[in-house]
Amino acid sequence: MLRMDAMRAIYPQLERCVVVTIMGATAAELQALGHRPNFFYLQHAMGLASSMGLGIALSRPELKVVVLDGDGSVLMNLGGLTTLARYRPPNLVHVIFDNESLLSVGGFPTATASGSDLAGIAAAAGITRAISVRALDAFAVAFEEAIATNELSVIVAKVDAVGPRAFVTDLPLLENRFQFARYLKQRGQADQGRLPQESAT
């Protein structure tokens, strides 16, 4: 499975979600599919995309938050899986694209290349909905189920170690950051406006 194809398969469903991606190929490929104001690309601070997703999910339980993570990043913050398991925000879907490689920095193998099982680690951390998929159709089904359910989900998608030639896009980091925050603010105001009178108090 190509990560690009996997993201293309779920792209329509990301429109109503709040999306946080990691750096490098994942960020560049999602932008190639089409940037949206509800997408935030964490272009550094490896490991913290899932922590950001947790912060957003806890702050805004009415939103569905999707983290598009990678094996290299998750391996830098394995403890974060135990924190996710502890608070298990039902509105968080944690996708880990596992290409068994630090592709963006030279393609050196990660520990998943020699057998470390991220879905197994997530499950052992206490995340009960944690699966690993290898085929595109299985990924699409798993993602759709994760979006539909009201339970923290981890999906490890085994993908090929290929990516785009370049990682720098024409979206400046700060433009992305302020646009994303503004989207979340306006989405909150719009949702507030739709609430019935009695529950708005």
Partner 1 sequence: MPVSITSSQLIYDSLKACGITILSALPETWLVHLIRMAEEDPAMTLVRLAKEEEGVGISAGAHLAGAKSAMLMQNHGLLQSINGIVSLTRLYRIPLLMLISYRGEFGERDPWQTEGGGVTEAVLQTLAVPFARLDEPGHVAARIHKAQTLADSSLKPVALLLCRDLMWEE
The DSSP element (H or E) to which 33 belongs, if any, is helix 25-34
Distance CA 102, CA 50 (A): 18
168 binds partner 1 (CB under 8 A): no
Q: How far is the CB of 39 from partner 1 (least distance, A)?
A: 12
Residues 35-94 close enough to bind partner 1 by CB under 8 A: 40, 42-45, 47-60, 63, 77, 79-80, 82-83, 86-87
Beta pairing partners, 157: 97, 133
Instruction: Annotate each residue in 93-132 with x if it binds partner 1 (CB under 8 A) or - if it does not, as one string.
Output: ----------------------------------------
Extract the runs of DSSP E, i.e. beta strands, from the chain: 18-21, 39-41, 65-70, 92-98, 101-102, 108-109, 129-133, 153-158
Q: How far is the CB of 128 from partner 1 (least distance, A)?
A: 19
Q: How far is the CB of 88 from partner 1 (least distance, A)?
A: 12
Residues 175-194 close enough to bind partner 1 by CB under 8 A: 177, 180-181, 184-185, 188
Q: Identify which of residues 89 and 163 has a Cβ nearer to partner 1 in the complex.
A: 89
Find all residues with CB under 8 Å of 43, minimum gap 6, and list them: 23, 27, 173
Distance CA 97, CA 74 (A): 10
Q: Identify which of residues 90 and 141 has a Cβ nearer to partner 1 in the complex.
A: 90
Which two structure tokens, joined as six digits, stand for 174? 């700060």
Choose one: 94-102, 129-137, 150-158, 172-180; the region binding partner 1 (CB under 8 A).
Answer: 172-180
169 binds partner 1 (CB under 8 A): no
Q: How far is the CB of 136 from partner 1 (least distance, A)?
A: 29
CA angle 61, 63, 64 (to 5 degrees): 110
* CB count in 10 Å sphere of residue 48: 18
Q: How far is the CB of 82 from partner 1 (least distance, A)?
A: 5
Parallel/antiparallel/unpaired status of strands 65-70 and 101-102: unpaired
Contact residues: partner 1, CB under 8 A: 18, 20, 40, 42-45, 47-60, 63, 77, 79-80, 82-83, 86-87, 173-174, 177, 180-181, 184-185, 188
